[in-house]
Amino acid sequence: MKKVLILANEDTHVLHFRSELIVALVKNGNEVIVSIPKSNRKDEIIALGAKVVETNLSRHGKNPLKDLKLLKEYKLLIKELKPNIVFSFTVKPNVYGGLACRKLKVPFVANITGLGVIGQKGLLQKITLWLCKKGLKDAKCVFFQNESNKEFFESKKIVKGNVELLPGSGVNLEKYYYSEYPSDNVSNLLFVGRIVKDKGAYELASTAKHFLGDNRVRFTILGTCEYGFENPFENLPNVECKGYDKNVRAHVEDAHAIILPSYHEGMANVLLEGAASGRPVLASNIPGCKESFDEGVTGFGFTVKDAQDTIRAVEKFLSLSYEEKRQMGILGRKKMENQFDRNIVIGKYLDKLGEV
């Protein structure tokens, strides 16, 4: 039996994207401990067979003194638990978990789930890149979720040689099974995510405004505003904002397509889940989104930060017949089965554990 410590920045992502990994690790006879910030959902993680340790991690905080406290906390945690290997996800666990593992000589595997602030030029980017270089220096492996992110890190000489590419977080093909295409004549375009600028909220709101009074289409927004962001979808009669709902599956079933005008992604899981359910994809032509669909076959792409091109892609989708839309969804499901099965990701992690 091996002891595996997972460092993550929130409970929802663990439950949504890592539960199958935890179950597989436990099923193979390993002890799994998950480190997350204070959580109301830790019982759900414990039900998977893992132990939970609550760590003082601020997802969006930029106070270096608090982050140094996180490093100290990770060091104490690793000294106490003595794990055989540490798996980490997202920037802060990758950086400070990596530094702690490097100091204590514990095998460490990081997962770059997207660039986030790393992709935004300026002083913060320089500091974050420097920290990443230090944190990932001795990693046993650094997983990337798309080729573009991998090339960026390699070009900055943050990683070299110890990298592998994953199909994002993969998609659970049993949970997100194919469901029959909705028969409603009005196409329901579903957006799932935080309502913030970087998810393309302004471009999507402009698109919805363009289609006001058009009885061919309506929009559903599943998510909440963050950081005091003012909701641009308010007072748009063709948009229904449903807030946060952990049962995303039910909303995907009601959708005719998934739309995501995001500015940057590691790999957009909502697009993978939508495609696995048999729904066409409308998304920004950016790394992390464009891999999830084949242009004109399983979806349509559009230029990032370009409302007019988003409108063009939506118009192109609406011009399809019902059967063409349905066939697009069927082909999307096949693409997920062939390229994005979550079991591929789990297998990669089990391989790394086997190498310890």
282 near 200, Cβ under 8 Å?
A: no
> Which pair of structure tokens corresponds to residue 118?
């790393």
Q: Strand, coil or helix: what is 104?
A: helix
Kindly report the average pLDDT of the chain as a whole number: 93
At 118 the pLDDT is 64
Digit-coded pLDDT (tens) for 268-286? 999 999 999 999 999 999 9
CA distance 321 to 37: 47
Digit-coded pLDDT (tens) for 186-223? 999 999 999 999 999 999 999 999 999 999 999 999 99
Question: Is it the case that residue 58 has pLDDT exceeding 90?
Answer: no
Alpha helices in the chain (DSSP H): 11-13, 19-27, 42-46, 64-81, 91-104, 123-136, 147-155, 201-210, 248-254, 269-276, 307-318, 322-339, 342-355
CA distance 295 to 51: 43
For residues 226-231, average pLDDT: 81
CB crowding 7-44: b at 16 or more within 10 Å, else e: bbbbbebbbebbbbbbebbeeeebbbbbbbeebeebeb
CA 236 to chain CA centroid, nearest Å: 28
The proportion of the chain whose per-residue pLDDT surpasses 70, expressed as a percent, equals: 96
> Which pair of structure tokens corresponds to residue 301?
């792409």
49 near 32, Cβ under 8 Å?
A: yes
Digit-coded pLDDT (tens) for 93-138? 999 999 999 999 999 999 998 776 665 666 777 888 888 899 999 9
> Where do the domains of the chain lie, and which CATH numbers do they carry?
3-170+341-355 (3.40.50.2000), 187-339 (3.40.50.2000)
CA distance 25 to 56: 25
User: How are strands ordered across the β-sheet holding 163-165?
Assistant: 51-54, 31-36, 3-7, 85-89, 108-112, 141-144, 163-165
Pick the closest to residue 217 from 240, 248, 200 (CA basis).
240
